[in-house]
Amino acid sequence: MFGKINDLEINDPSEFSVEDKVIGGFNETINGTKRFYVKAVKKVWTLTYDKMNLSDYNNIYAELQKEVTAGMQLSETYALFTINDSTLNVTNEKVHIELSNRNFLTVNFLENIEIILTQV
C-alpha cells in the first residue's frame, strides 16, 4: 500500500511526482506596467497508474464526490492525503482531488489513470 486518501488505502502508482505550484497573478501598477505577484506556493502530487482495477477507481471517485458539494469553495472542503513512506513527510495533508477520465482497457480494468492532489 502506497498511502491513503482519507481512510481509503491506495496502491503503489506506476509513476509518482511532486512539484511546487505557484499560485498568483498579475496586477497593474500606477504607471501601467504589469507586475506578477505570488499568492501562495502549493505542493502538487501526481499519481499515475498504467493499469487500475475499476473498483479501485470507483472508490477513489467516491472520495472525490465527498469533496464536491453545492457551492464548494477552493479553500473549504478537502480530502486528507497520507503517504506511508515517512521520508516523503506527507501526513494528513489537506488536498483537493482531480481524477482523470475512465480509459477502459478491459471490462474490469482501466489504463492511464492520473490522480492529482493539490495542497489546500
Q: Give the tens place of pLDDT for each residue, 10-65.
A: 999 999 999 999 988 888 888 888 888 888 999 999 999 999 999 999 999 998 88
C-alpha cell at 40: 501562495
What are 58-105's pLDDT values in tens digits? 999 998 888 776 555 555 668 999 999 999 999 999 998 999 999 999
The rounded distance, in Å, linking the Cα atoms of 66 and 30 is 45
For residues 54 and 110, the answer to whether their CB atoms sit within 8 Å is yes
For residues 51 and 43, the answer to whether their CB atoms sit within 8 Å is no
| Strands (E) located in the chain | 3-5, 8-10, 15-28, 34-53, 79-83, 93-99, 109-119
Alpha helices in 1-120 (DSSP H): 54-67
